[in-house]
Amino acid sequence: MAPKIEEEKKYTQKDYDVFYGKKNLVKNVPRSLKFNDSSKEFETTHDFIWTMTEEPHYSRRLEILKKYPEIKKLFGHEPLTKYICVGIVFIQLFFAWYFRDINSYKTPLFWVVLYFVGATANQSIFLAIHEISHNLAFKAPIANKLFSILVCNIPIAVPYAASFKPYHMDHHRFQGVDGVDTDLPTTIEGRLLSSTPGKAFFALFQIFFYAIRPMAIKQYPFTRYHVLNLTYILGVDYLIYKYLGDGSFGVLVYLLASTVMAGCGLHPCAAHFIAEHFVFTGEAETYSYYGILNFFCWNVGYHNEHHDFPFVAWSKLPEIRRIAAEYYDTLPYHESWPMVTFQFVFGKNYSVWNRVKRKEKISHNNAFFQKMDEPSVTTETNTKSGSSPFHVVAESRRRLVAAGFTEIKERQNFDQKLARNGKYFYTRNQSALIAFSVGGKYSRGNGFSIVGAHTDSPCLKVKPISKKTKSTYLQVGVEVYGGGLWHTWFDRDLSVAGRVMVKNGDKFEQNLVKINKSILRIPNLAIHLTDRKDGFTFNKEVQLTPILGLTKAVEKQLNAEPTEGDGNTPKHHPEFLKLIANELKVNVEQIEEFELCLYDTQAPAVGGLNDEFVFSARLDNLGMSYCSLQGLINAKNLESDSNIRMVALFDNEEIGSVSTAGADSNLLEAALKRISKMDFNDGQTSLSQDLEEWDIVADFNHILNLNLISSSSQSVAEEALLKSMLISADMAHGLHPNYMEKHEDNHRPTINKGVVIKQNANIRYATNAISTLALREVARKRNVPLQEFVVRNDSPCGSTIGPMLSAKLGIRTVDVGNPQWAMHSIRECCGTEDVKYAIDLFEV
């Protein structure tokens, strides 16, 4: 039967089509789309359903969180998960032992148990690994990863757990993006398997399609976790064969048969593969199922709920549906999983083509800018990424770990522990980051290929003593950071994000915080009350002070619910501190210090007639920070590279870079000198990857004693620097059609026309003829268009980290950036095409 759509009785005032993707669908010319008025089903025969819209879950997530912020309390792991998994593993091992005789498969009992117990158990284990990939069994990500490999993978009998997570994370981040989301069938599958026999073959052997397709479409690096997974499972299989099976292969036959049957279309639970994202009505691309089979499948049937909130554990997904019923009761859902398989195979309106796809240049780029304000999967911090330099580094850290990079500590001795073909990173002050990968042919004295960017943007920062009261209004004192277009901060929905120092017993911890609520506003003065003949002018100390609330309202709330005082109460409004404490789930008196930035709560968006623009805060310089990091992650052929590839993300560029985490510090210099003097081992590193250990208070003790470097090592470092090249990546000024006279006539970079090379005769940029030539050669090989920018003689010229690092290190440098409008505004604009160009350029 067709997915059920409940009648809208009390929700007719809301257009829910926006949330599940029925509007603005773009159809390719070869594809025929025919709607049946009565069933709202369609038949598609030539191509997938191509759309220019974003995936539906991000918008719905923001809408629901805004209306029901209490859902955030559901975030986090479910401790019961690990115990259930252990029980399932023991059940499978028991029946494997019971059917250890190699001839057991000849008995009817074997097939009955295999179908009802073995396949169900292994399907449950598959989905347990899915659950654990979201870090929902343990608090620590490393514990989730090891438990998945060392425990859950056992009854599957083939290595699986280590490979699943990176592909599945891409499925969530880039849902429907062709060539990235490997959950999508390929064109070859569509052409060969859309007939009834073909669909039957697809449904029957879908487990093999889902196993082989990801590796064929996109290859991830083979990490030490893959090595662990492979060697461990093969070793366990041998032990099961030798001791549990008494030397009989019957034990492994049962486990492997359970794995195959679990993914076979004959098993009812296997239908979730097709039920989740194949289009069955309209053009909705995600479907839930609320039936009894969820009991065996970790509530994966709550699939819209899961994609909306992937950081909520299986046990709490029904609660999301209960809280936000008006959002989910109107979405199409399946009443029966077994009927899904039957309907897919024999229904003339359904085929392998029934999947929504997006072009990478739209969705892949948009995904990051959404991610910059999307809740991180690290639910312990309960933050959103990108609203402060600390959040940018936290998100970068998460992306690197997901891509197989190993975190090391700058303050620790990592000499002799790095390896060729290894990928590593470390942070400083939680606001700066060094990431690098070692070429397989690297030797001492070889060069570095570096891209440098910065994590900070102009903003307002909460003052150390922020408590202000005027008339009946509570205000928060703020300080300007950098050279912002401050008039754009008026009449915006503002909140705060940053890091907070929390006392926990006799220790101090750093916690990231982001208040996902509009709590501050800087209102304009009405035009009737001012004479603006000379334009809009204001005093940054007086008129740029945001309003927090009304004194009477707060006093009434505080009287009803007293807040315990602490040393910070005289400095800041108690209710302001209480907001922060509630977000961190600590007491107010535990808050010792904080560094908080104001940010605009409006989410980033892709817009323009053809989705050619990105509208977002902090594009300068998160745009280049993202592109440089993604280029490093995407880069291939590391084994044949004789250089070290590196990305350096600095803090405090907007205020001169003179800080411990800025480009004028020893951060990059120390990294280059330490790494260049090392003798690298072959193979994988054995470093412990403690994903939960942050650079906390001791972080400021990281300063390196460079005098300890021997003279010979010093000469090696200097030799390496002379063979190296730095790309200083910072956004550029794009030609503005309303102010074309502001650009030099022959140097007018245009949005979506390529990366901009920035030059200045007075060395405000570090570009010279040699570095320009080198960059052009790289761009030519990558088919990346380049543009040039020179400031007018009658205009001032900004600068970047390029000249500073070039002078400090003696390294050849070129300054580049993507063109944008409204630089340093609270809401900036750049091009979607240029993001892809920059990533391609930085991949080399």
Q: What are the residue boundaries of the structural domains of the chain, listed by start?
A: 17-358, 368-381+391-456+617-685+697-842, 459-603
Q: What is the pLDDT of residue 120?
A: 97
Distances in Å between the Cα of 338 and the Cα atoms of 283, 423, 513 are 22, 45, 44
What does the pLDDT look like over 109-138, one tens digit per residue?
999 999 999 999 999 999 999 999 999 999
The CA R_g of the chain, rounded to the nearest whole Å, is 28
pLDDT band at 568 (very low <50, low <70, confident <90, very high): low
Average pLDDT of 614-639? 94
Distances in Å between the Cα of 250 and the Cα atoms of 115, 155, 259, 267 are 16, 14, 14, 22
21 vs 102: which has the higher pLDDT: 102
Q: With beta carbons less than 8 A apart as the criterion, state whether 710 and 676 touch.
A: no
What's the rounded Cα separation, in Å, for the pair 718 and 216? 43
pLDDT band at 401 (very low <50, low <70, confident <90, very high): confident
Average pLDDT of 751-776? 96
Q: What is the pLDDT of residue 557?
A: 57
Looking up tokens 């990235």, which residue turns up?
Answer: 180
Q: Residue 682: is its pLDDT beyond 60?
A: no
Q: What is the pLDDT of residue 228?
A: 96
| C-alpha closest to that of 121 among 258, 299, 254, 256 | 258
What does the pLDDT look like over 213-233, one tens digit per residue?
888 887 788 889 999 999 999
Q: What is the largest CA-CA distance in the chain?
A: 95
What's the rounded Cα separation, in Å, for the pair 479 and 501? 20
Q: Sort strands 423-428 and 432-438 into parallel, antiparallel or unpaired.
A: antiparallel
Q: With beta carbons less than 8 A apart as the criterion, state whether 828 and 604 touch.
A: no
Nearest-5° angle of CA 323, CA 324, CA 327?
A: 160
42 vs 501: which has the higher pLDDT: 501
Contacts of 580 (CB under 8 A, 6+ apart): 496, 500, 513, 515, 591, 594
Contacts of 821 (CB under 8 A, 6+ apart): 734, 736, 751, 828, 829, 830
Beta bridge partners of 43: 34
Q: Among 32-41, 540-549, 602-611, where is mean pLDDT lowest?
A: 32-41
Q: What is the pLDDT of residue 48?
A: 87
What is the strand order of the sheet 423-428 is part of? 406-407, 423-428, 432-438, 644-650, 448-454, 725-729, 812-817, 755-758, 786-789
Say if residue 2 is exposed, middle or buried (CB neighbours under 10 Å; 0-12, 13-18, 19+). middle
Q: Residue 9: is its pLDDT beyond 60?
A: no
Q: With beta carbons less than 8 A apart as the criterion, state whether 109 and 116 touch.
A: no
507's enclosing H/E stretch is strand 507-514
Q: Among 190-194, 537-541, 714-718, where is mean pLDDT lowest?
A: 714-718
* The domains spanning 368-381+391-456+617-685+697-842 and 459-603 adopt the same CATH topology: no
pLDDT band at 412 (very low <50, low <70, confident <90, very high): confident
| C-alpha closest to that of 399 among 191, 555, 633, 557 | 633
Nearest-5° angle of CA 321, CA 322, CA 328?
A: 40
What does the pLDDT look like over 444-460, one tens digit per residue?
889 999 999 999 999 99
The 10 Å Cβ neighbour count of residue 580 is 22
Average pLDDT of 625-643? 93
Q: Residue 708: is its pLDDT beyond 60?
A: no
304 Cα distance to chain centroid: 19
User: What's the predicted TM-score (pTM) here?
Assistant: 0.58
The upper half-sphere exposure of residue 226, i.e. CA atoms within 13 Å in the direction of its Cβ, equals 12
Distances in Å between the Cα of 678 and the Cα atoms of 332, 495, 673 are 59, 45, 9
Three-class SS of 588-653: HHHEEEEEEEEEECCCCEEECCCCCEEEECCHHHHHHHHHHHHHHHHCCCHHHCCCEEEEEEECCH
What does the pLDDT look like over 778-807, one tens digit per residue?
999 999 999 999 999 999 998 999 999 999
pLDDT band at 698 (very low <50, low <70, confident <90, very high): very low
Q: Is 469 left (phi over 0), alpha (psi -120 to 50) or beta?
A: beta
What does the pLDDT look like over 414-431, one tens digit per residue?
876 789 999 999 999 999
Buried b (16+ CB within 10 A) or exposed e, 400-438: bbbbbbbbbbbeeebeebbbbbbbbbbbbbbbbbbbbbb
What's the rounded Cα separation, in Å, for the pair 478 and 545? 6
Q: With beta carbons less than 8 A apart as the criterion, state whether 247 and 147 touch.
A: no
What's the rounded Cα separation, in Å, for the pair 397 and 640? 26
DSSP secondary structure string for all residues of 636-705:
--GGG--SEEEEEEES-GGGTS-STTSTTSSHHHHHHHHHHT--PBSS-------TT----GGGGG----
The 10 Å Cβ neighbour count of residue 141 is 23
Average pLDDT of 435-439? 96
Q: Average pLDDT over the chain, rounded to whole? A: 85
CATH class of segment(s) 459-603: mainly beta
CATH number given to 368-381+391-456+617-685+697-842: 3.40.630.10
Q: What is the pLDDT of residue 281?
A: 82
What's the rounded Cα separation, in Å, for the pair 483 and 825? 10
Long-range contacts of 128-132 (CB under 8 A, 24+ apart): 128/81, 128/84, 128/85, 128/88, 128/152, 128/298, 129/153, 129/160, 129/161, 129/164, 130/164, 130/168, 130/298, 130/300, 131/81, 131/298, 131/313, 131/314, 132/81
Count of residues making up the chain: 844
- Helix ranges (DSSP H) in 420-567: 551-560
Measured N-to-C along each axis, helices 250-262 and 206-217 cross at an angle, to the nearest 10 degrees, of 80
Long-range contacts of 222-225 (CB under 8 A, 24+ apart): 223/162, 223/404, 223/684, 224/684, 224/685, 225/145, 225/149, 225/162, 225/404
The pair of three-digit structure tokens given for residue 481, joined into one six-digit string: 């950071």
| C-alpha closest to that of 126 among 163, 100, 93 | 163
